[in-house]
Amino acid sequence: MHRAWIVAAVAFVAIIGAAGFRATPGVLINPLQDEFGWSRGTISLAVSVNLMLYGLCAPFAAALMDRFGMRRVVSAALLLVAAGSGLTVLMTASWQLVALWGVLVGLGTGSMALVFAATLTDRWFVRHRGLVTGILTAGGATGQLIFLPVLAHLAEGQGWRVASLTVAFAALAVVPLVWFLLRDSPEEIGLTALGAAEQVDRTPTVRMAGGGAAARAVRVLREAARTRSFWFLAGGFAICGASTNGLVGTHFIPAAHDHGMPETTAASLLAVIGIFDIAGTVLSGWLSDRVDSRVLLAVYYVLRGLSLLVLPQLFAATTQPSMLVFIIFYGLDWVATVPPTVALCRKIFGADGSIVFGWVFASHQVGAAIVATVAGVTRDRLGSYDAAWYGAGALCLLAALMSARIVTNVRQSRRSAVLAR
């Protein structure tokens, strides 16, 4: 067996370890509101800061991985997640929630995020690259599948502090595995990437980054921003983040609770989304090796938008068959957008594709952060999430249009951007 599969397995476990926090906000919004009296808008602000940093760190993390290696960056990121989540048990004010959940955990999760998967597959795989991207992307969903029901049960039976400590210990436990088994590239141990004809000398890339990882990330952004395709990718992915992490991931459980559904039941439904997310993401990775990624994105966004438009009619105190249909479909579609987006970044921007994807992913989290707060404030002001569901559905249809207009030829894309001015 090629060593690439072992490295991918370690990365998969690391992503699961960091995914514990992604399951935390939806489970703990109501317990925090009950204990401290904070509004959903206040709690959502901490989630928004986290989501924003989760994205904004991504392009710099990609450059840091080129400079210092994946092993060091990912290990440090997991330690930040553990510290931020563990220290929340001591907080007494809402600003501390923002500092810990928002800033500390945001920096940690953002430093590995999806660019970790993109960087690893770019270095270790030539054959099966899309498939492995899908599998690693599904690691986050697998983590939610594992953590959501556990955290919901702990929060209800033992209190939210026990749930938060569980996330901290999970992230901490993965660090030794990453440190001792993860390798930065096949060339480091005298191998070639899976499916590659010869070794690639990566030393020039590292030396180039030595001028400053941040400077390189900004330079790549400046060049990518000259193309219309970058803005279509970033705009569509911002809507992707708004409709997943920002809205459903953060507010589905409290929204279901508003209709009389127990939080543990709603958390279990989100866990079911995680089950089908794994299948959908892996399938999407396989398809991205074979089908035009622009077509895949357009189809995914149209179907997601239509499903969100009908969601408000599906909430009830008990789990109805129609809600199960939504859960299964939304799970299949949840992160299916990632493999074709990564594939397009590689195809359009070449060697800088991982860093460009970092910036595109930053837009994903900006969209998620904005909608996480807006949806919370909407619920506080209107007493319902309906406007948020309908708005997100309409935005997904817009994302489909943008995806269809992406140009994969860099020169043509730049020419289009100039003509549009």
pLDDT at 418: 41
Please report the DSSP string for 283-314 in residue order: HHHHHHTTS-HHHHHHHHHHHHHHHHHHGGGT
Environment class of 203 (CB within 10 Å of its CB; exposed 0-12, middle 13-18, buried 19+):
exposed
Rounded to whole angstroms, how far apart are CA atoms 12 and 23? 17
Q: Could you tell me which of 71, 158, 175 has the C-alpha nearest to residue 116?
A: 71
Rounded to whole angstroms, how far apart are CA atoms 390 and 395? 9
Assign residue 384 a region: left if phi > 0, alpha if psi is -120 to 50, beta otherwise?
A: beta
pTM of structure: 0.73
pLDDT at 204: 41
pLDDT at 53: 86
The CA distances from residue 153 to 157, 263, 307, 315, in Å, are 6, 9, 28, 22
- Choose the weakest-confidence range: 58-72, 208-222, 290-304: 208-222
pLDDT exceeds 60 at position 64: yes
Q: Which CATH superfamily is domain 3-420 in?
A: MFS general substrate transporter like domains (1.20.1250.20)
What are the residue ranges spanned by the domains of the chain? 3-420
pLDDT exceeds 90 at position 309: yes
pLDDT exceeds 90 at position 239: yes
Residue 312 near residue 390 (C-beta atoms within 8 A): yes
Query: Which has the higher per-residue pLDDT, 164 or 277?
Result: 164
**What tens digit of pLDDT does each residue of 175-215 get?**
999 999 998 888 888 888 888 766 555 544 443 444 466 78
pLDDT tier for residue 416 given thresholds of 50, 70 and 90: very low
Rounded to whole angstroms, how far apart are CA atoms 143 and 274? 8
**What tens digit of pLDDT does each residue of 76-120 get?**
999 999 999 999 999 999 999 999 988 999 899 888 777 788 889
Mean pLDDT of the region 205-231: 76
pLDDT exceeds 70 at position 324: yes
pLDDT at 150: 87
Mean pLDDT of the region 344-348: 92
Q: What is the mean pLDDT of the chain?
A: 87
